């Protein structure tokens, strides 16, 4: 310690400074604390409106589509990639599913199941194409998925002739769209199951370990015998599959396709994943962090409206939090490099 008068400064390697740095640079745990603080603040400002089961379920419903897409994006970012096409793939998958269901009736569970299967397949196929373009054609992920963003959106408009499809089986609306199980909407149940399954795969399976390895050091993973190209294609296919699932969820929730309603989903998804502690540089991230990172914008949007503020403040706040999250991620990386 160096003492000047009464001022004491901890040296760089001291436990005091180390604890402070861990508090500053922590990821999922600290993000969870931030979410709880936000909930407490809005709850204190208007407990009668905010802290009700109906309102909290409404927040989860609003976040459900982003949770599903963010689960896939977590795998992509952990693997060192990026996917800007998720919102457009959602729209494209929903349109293809809608066309199939219209051709089949559209009534009954046969049409509903066919629509779900087609939406999942269309999303996975588009994601796999993204992966092939990135790994085999060596197009940078940012450019490949940005091009895919425009292509999927444009193709969806062409297939739908620029008009939203509105014919959908009532069975799909009554269950996945507005149905509930033990008071919890099916949309929320599906989203939480996806996050739980994705978290389990990422944390406890060989597939998850390989995803982390590729994101941490691609060349080292290749030399360790991992088929990097095949794995990355599967990661992008998984992200596409979950976008397809979000597509049929959106179709069921709103009773129609939403051709122009998801243009900013790519940014919202990436922001949620990064805010949740996943590194933009790969190799770091958890599904719990992604779930919390997705809930923060949803809670902000809901709470700001309830307390009478313009919801546009949410976009400002999320933007600031995103920049801070990336800055802290860089600090974490530098701190590990110095060890």
Contacts of 181 (CB under 8 A, 6+ apart): 189
Partners of 7 in the β-ladder: 4
For residue 3, the SS3 value is: strand
Instruction: Quote the CA–CA distance of 88 and 265 in Å, as a whole number.
Output: 8
What tokens does 194 get? Answer: 């996806």
Partners of 4 in the β-ladder: 7
Give me the pLDDT at residue 116, please. Answer: 95
What tokens does 226 get? Answer: 């991992």
Give me the pLDDT at residue 338, please. Answer: 64
Assign residue 282 a region: left if phi > 0, alpha if psi is -120 to 50, beta otherwise?
A: left
- Alpha-carbon distance values, 94 to 33, 67, 78, 146, 234 (Å): 36, 17, 27, 20, 21
What tokens does 245 get? Answer: 């699932």
Contacts of 130 (CB under 8 A, 6+ apart): 83, 85, 144, 145, 148, 236, 239, 240
Tokens 């997705």 sit at which residue?
294
Give me the pLDDT at residue 165, please. Answer: 87
Q: What would the DSSP string read from start to end of 74-133?
A: HHHHHTT---S-HHHHHHHHHHHHHHHHHHH-S-HHHHHHHHHHHHHHHHHHHHHHHHHH
pTM, 2 dp? 0.88
Number of neighbours of residue 323 by Cβ within 10 angstroms: 11
The tens place of each residue's pLDDT in the chain, 339 residues long, gives 444 443 333 344 434 344 444 433 445 677 888 889 889 999 999 888 898 999 999 999 999 999 999 999 999 999 999 999 999 999 999 999 999 998 888 678 999 999 999 999 999 999 999 999 999 999 999 999 999 999 999 999 999 998 888 888 889 999 999 999 988 999 999 999 999 999 999 999 999 999 999 999 999 999 999 999 999 999 999 999 999 999 999 999 998 888 888 888 888 899 899 988 898 889 989 999 999 999 988 898 888 888 887 767 777 877 787 787 777 777 776 776 666
Instruction: Quote the CA–CA distance of 62 and 80 in Å, as a whole number.
Output: 28
Instruction: Quote the CA–CA distance of 26 and 24 in Å, as a whole number.
Output: 6
Give me the pLDDT at residue 3, please. Answer: 40
Instruction: Quote the CA–CA distance of 281 and 118 in Å, as a whole number.
Output: 33
Give me the pLDDT at residue 301, please. Answer: 86
Give me the pLDDT at residue 28, please. Answer: 67
Contacts of 299 (CB under 8 A, 6+ apart): 35, 38, 39, 42, 59
Contacts of 263 (CB under 8 A, 6+ apart): 87, 153
Instruction: Quote the CA–CA distance of 105 and 112 in Å, as a whole number.
Output: 10
Tokens 């990026």 sit at which residue?
82
């Amino acid at each position: 310690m160096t003492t000047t008068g009464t001022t004491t400064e901890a040296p760089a390697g001291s436990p005091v400074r180390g604890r402070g740095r861990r508090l500053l640079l922590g990821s999922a745990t600290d993000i969870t604390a931030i979410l709880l603080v936000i909930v407490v603040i809005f709850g204190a400002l208007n407990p009668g409106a905010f802290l009700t089961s109906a309102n909290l379920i409404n927040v989860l419903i609003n976040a459900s589509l982003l949770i599903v897409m963010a689960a896939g994006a977590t795998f992509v970012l952990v693997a060192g990639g990026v996917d800007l096409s998720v919102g457009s793939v959602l729209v494209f998958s929903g349109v293809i599913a809608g066309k199939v269901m219209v051709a089949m009736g559209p009534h009954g569970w046969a049409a509903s199941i066919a629509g779900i299967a087609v939406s999942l397949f269309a999303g996975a196929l588009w994601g796999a194409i993204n992966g092939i373009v990135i790994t085999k054609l060596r197009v940078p992920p940012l450019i490949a998925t940005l091009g895919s963003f425009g292509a999927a959106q444009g193709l969806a408009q062409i297939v739908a002739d620029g008009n939203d499809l509105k014919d959908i089986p009532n069975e799909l609306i009554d269950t996945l769209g507005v149905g509930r199980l033990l008071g919890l909407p099916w949309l929320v149940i599906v989203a939480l199951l996806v996050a739980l399954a994705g978290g389990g795969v990422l944390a406890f399976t060989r597939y998850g370990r390989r995803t982390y390895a590729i994101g941490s050091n691609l060349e080292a993973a290749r030399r360790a015998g991992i088929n990097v190209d095949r794995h990355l294609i599967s990661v992008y296919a998984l992200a596409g599959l979950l976008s397809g699932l979000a597509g049929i969820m959106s179709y069921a929730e709103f009773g129609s396709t939403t051709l122009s309603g998801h243009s900013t989903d790519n940014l919202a998804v990436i922001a949620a994943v990064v805010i949740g502690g996943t590194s933009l540089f790969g190799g770091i991230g958890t599904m719990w962090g992604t779930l919390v990172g997705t809930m923060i914008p949803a809670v902000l949007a809901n709470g700001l409206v309830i307390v009478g503020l313009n919801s546009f403040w949410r976009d400002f706040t999320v933007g600031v939090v995103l920049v801070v999250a990336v800055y802290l991620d860089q600090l974490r990386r530098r701190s590990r490099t110095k060890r």
